[in-house]
Copies of this chain bind each other. A is one copy, B any other.
Amino acid sequence: MSRRDILGRVVNLSRRHGYVYSSGHLRPSMGVKGCFDYGPLGVELKRNLLNEWWSEMVSSQEHVVGVDNATFQSSTVAQSSSSPGQNGTSTSQHNLSVRLHEGNGEACLQSSLHDGLFSHYFNTLCLLNRRLPFGLAQVGPCFNRSSSSQEHDTFIFNGLQTSEMSMQFFSTPKTSNLSFNTWHRDRLSWWRKFAGIPSDFTATDIKTTEHVQSTEIQYKFPWGVDTIERISNHGSVPVEQMQASFKTDMQGKDGRKSVIPHMIETTASLEGGLLAYLVDGYQEKQRTDTRGQSVSREILRLHLRLAPLKVIVLPLRGTKELRELSDYLGKEFRKAGVNVRSIVEVSPSLENYYTMFDEMGVPFTILLNENTLKTGILRVRQRDTTLMQQLHITEVRDMILRHLEAD
């Protein structure tokens, strides 16, 4: 299978198992071109990736706080501002405008979080007693009409509506180069941490354009290498310009000295990341079936932390006792915050179940049978090894939690 074919397979698998549908999946006339809907597995994958980002960039950072903005910008701002992260070109030409109340003029849907995030700079500087460094982080929807002109199908990568995960870090001038290099390195490590093939995630050399240093983190998509995150060092220009425009002291403190902070910015695409990990996790394997025929099998090897559904509980007979045991296990996992599903129907073929669960990317399948009722022994099948492990029912929850918590 060529690398280009993978996209079609991933799109197909995504639709089949409730990851992502094109808008209008119910009836094409109801859809909006370039928009996508997320099914049960897709929405959990998205939540997992977003929460990993927030945990890495906000919760575990001493100096970064989150903020959130309305997705509307006033039209006057959108026309005058340019987003320096985007190679210095103005973003206004791509803005989507919305007519609000009669007489209240128009507003634009933001095409980048850059301006909204930076509008929190002064308030937050004051809240934090002007102490440097500090960072502002946000995840939010961005709207981009340029998505219609794409040359080839890129699925969710370039939709009309995407989600940016952005952070602006304000450091003292003397530490800004160190900060830039540290974020650059840390962001690449973060992407690689969840990858099956880490070397498919790479960083470009640092380029300097109009005093902005920048580097891009890229993934080897089926259509070629493309950017999923940009890290830039804007230097002192953004705060200098804002200070000049507002005629207010916007300096931060380096010890007792007042300085113009430098801005380091990281801007990642949530949908770019989702598609990268879907492609990264997609594998096709040949196996020999019970009649000696070679058949191909698809697996979605998502990282344990990203996999939307961690555990499926499968009772091998439909008796009341086994169903009760299955419900009990389900509750135990849910209480521990693990996404679990219990299967009620019993199919004659276990192979069909394994095929389905592998395509869904479920790391663990727990098999219960009559013997489990007598001895407490059950079997756990792992997606990545297809191996079976025998365990006592009292041990299974902790065994799986240990796997999930290991990085």
Residues of A within 8 A of B (CB): 17-18, 21, 23-27, 29-40, 42-44, 46-47, 54, 59-60, 62, 65-74, 76-77, 96-101, 104, 107, 109, 116, 119-120, 122-124, 127, 129, 131, 138, 141, 145, 148, 159-161, 246, 327, 330-331, 334-335, 337, 339, 342, 344-345
Query: Contact: B32 with A100, CB < 8 Å?
Result: yes
> Which of B24, B104, B116 is the one whose CB lies under 8 Å from A33?
B104
Query: Contact: B32 with A119, CB < 8 Å?
Result: no
Chain B residue with minimal CB distance to A80? B30
26 sampled A-B residue pairs with Cβ under 8 A: A23-B69, A26-B123, A30-B73, A30-B76, A32-B70, A32-B107, A33-B101, A35-B70, A36-B70, A37-B116, A39-B67, A40-B65, A40-B67, A40-B124, A43-B66, A43-B67, A43-B68, A46-B68, A59-B337, A59-B339, A70-B159, A96-B98, A96-B99, A100-B160, A129-B345, A141-B141
- Known pairs A18-B124, A29-B74, A100-B96; A334 contacts B60 (CB<8 A): yes
Query: Contact: A66 with B37, CB < 8 Å?
Result: no
- Known pairs A74-B29, A100-B160; A67 contacts B334 (CB<8 A): no
Secondary structure of the A side of the interface? Answer: mixed
Residue numbers in B under 8 Å from A138 (CB-CB):
43
- Known pairs A72-B161, A96-B100, A337-B59; A127 contacts B18 (CB<8 A): yes
The smallest C-beta distance from A299 to any residue of chain B, in angstroms, reads 19
> Which of B74, B127, B161, B330 is the one whose CB lies under 8 Å from A62?
B330
Q: Give the most central of A17, A40, A246: most B CB within 10 Å.
A: A40
Query: Contact: A23 with B70, CB < 8 Å?
Result: yes
Chain B residue with minimal CB distance to A75? B32
CA distance A99 to B62 in the complex (A): 42
**Extra inter-chain contacts (20) besides given A32-B107, A97-B99, A101-B145, CB under 8 Å:** A23-B70, A25-B119, A25-B123, A29-B74, A30-B76, A30-B77, A35-B70, A35-B72, A37-B68, A38-B69, A39-B124, A42-B68, A43-B138, A59-B334, A62-B331, A70-B159, A96-B99, A98-B109, A100-B160, A129-B344
Residue numbers in B under 8 Å from A246 (CB-CB):
26-27
Residue numbers in B under 8 Å from A26 (CB-CB):
119, 122-123, 246
CA distance A359 to B330 in the complex (A): 42
Residue numbers in B under 8 Å from A119 (CB-CB):
25-26, 30, 37
Residue numbers in B under 8 Å from A330 (CB-CB):
62
Chain B residue with minimal CB distance to A245? B27
Q: Give the most central of A246, A331, A334: most B CB within 10 Å.
A: A334
Query: Contact: A104 with B148, CB < 8 Å?
Result: yes
CA distance A330 to B63 in the complex (A): 11
- Known pairs A32-B74, A97-B99, A104-B148; A44 contacts B62 (CB<8 A): no
CA distance A66 to B50 in the complex (A): 15
Query: Contact: B131 with A31, CB < 8 Å?
Result: no
